Amino acid sequence: MTQAFLQEQFRARIQELPGTETMRVARQKAMLSFNSSGYPTRKWEDWRYTDLKTISSAEYDPIPALPSANTISHAKQQVDSLGLAKDAKSIVFIDGYLKNSFGPLPATHEIEIANLYETAEHSIRSSTSAFYEGMPLAALNTAFSAGGIYLQVAADTIITAPLHLIFVASNEPSITQQPRVVINLKPGSQLQVIQHFIGSTPSISWTNAVTQITQEAGSTLRLYRIQDESETQLHTELLSSKLAADANLELGYVDFGGSLVRNDARIDLAGPGASCSLFGLSIANKGQHIDNHIHINHIEPRTVSQQAFRSIIGDQGRGVFNGKVVVQKNAQKIDAQQSSDNLLLSERSEINTKPELEIYADDVKCTHGATVGQLDEEQLFYLRARGVDETAARGLLTFAFANQIINRLQIPELKERVMREILQRLPGRQQWDELL
Contact call for residues 248 and 220 (beta carbons, < 8 A):
yes
Out of 347, 378, 430, 434, point to the residue binding other proteins (CB under 8 A). Answer: 347
Q: Is 15 exposed, middle or buried (0-12, 13-18, 19+ CB in 10 A)?
A: exposed
DSSP state letter for 103: S
Contact call for residues 144 and 62 (beta carbons, < 8 A):
yes
| Interface segment toward other proteins; rule CB under 8 A; list 36-44, 66-74, 211-219, 366-374 | 366-374
Query: According to the binding rule CB under 8 A, does residue 381 interact with other proteins?
Result: no
Query: According to the binding rule CB under 8 A, does residue 42 interact with other proteins?
Result: no
Angle at 69 between CA 63 and CA 70, to 5 degrees: 95
Using left for φ > 0, alpha for ψ between -120 and 50, and beta otherwise, residue 111 falls in: beta
d(C-alpha 112, C-alpha 430), whole Å: 46
282-341: contacts with other proteins (CB under 8 A): 329, 332
For the chain, percent helix, then strand, then coil, each to nearest 5? 30, 40, 35
- Residue (103 or 369) nearer to other proteins, CB: 369
Query: According to the binding rule CB under 8 A, does residue 352 interact with other proteins?
Result: yes
CB of 366 to other proteins, least distance (A): 4
Does the CA dihedral 212-311-293-247 come out positive or negative? Answer: positive
- Residue (281 or 345) nearer to other proteins, CB: 345
CB of 204 to other proteins, least distance (A): 26
Out of 73, 369, 400, 407, point to the residue binding other proteins (CB under 8 A). Answer: 369
CB of 359 to other proteins, least distance (A): 5
Query: According to the binding rule CB under 8 A, does residue 350 interact with other proteins?
Result: yes
Query: According to the binding rule CB under 8 A, does residue 360 interact with other proteins?
Result: yes
User: 321 Cβ partners below 8 Å, 6+ apart?
Assistant: 291, 292, 293, 309, 311, 340, 342, 351, 352, 353, 354, 355, 370
Query: According to the binding rule CB under 8 A, does residue 8 interact with other proteins?
Result: no
Phi, psi of 288, rounded to the nearest 5 degrees: -80, 150
| Interface segment toward other proteins; rule CB under 8 A; list 117-125, 169-177, 237-245, 358-366 | 358-366
Best CA proximity match to 207, nearest among 238, 250, 249: 238
| Interface segment toward other proteins; rule CB under 8 A; list 9-17, 77-85, 347-355, 424-432 | 347-355
Out of 344, 383, 388, 426, point to the residue binding other proteins (CB under 8 A). Answer: 344
Out of 364, 396, 397, 414, point to the residue binding other proteins (CB under 8 A). Answer: 364
Out of 170, 184, 192, 353, point to the residue binding other proteins (CB under 8 A). Answer: 353
Does the CA dihedral 347-350-355-356 come out positive or negative? Answer: positive
Q: Is 11 exposed, middle or buried (0-12, 13-18, 19+ CB in 10 A)?
A: exposed
Binding mask 257-286 for other proteins (x = CB under 8 A): ------------------------------
Collapsing DSSP to helix, strand or coil, 368 comes out as strand
- Residue (356 or 416) nearer to other proteins, CB: 356
Query: According to the binding rule CB under 8 A, does residue 366 interact with other proteins?
Result: yes
- Residue (13 or 333) nearer to other proteins, CB: 333
Q: Which residues bind other proteins (CB under 8 A)?
A: 329, 332, 342, 344-374
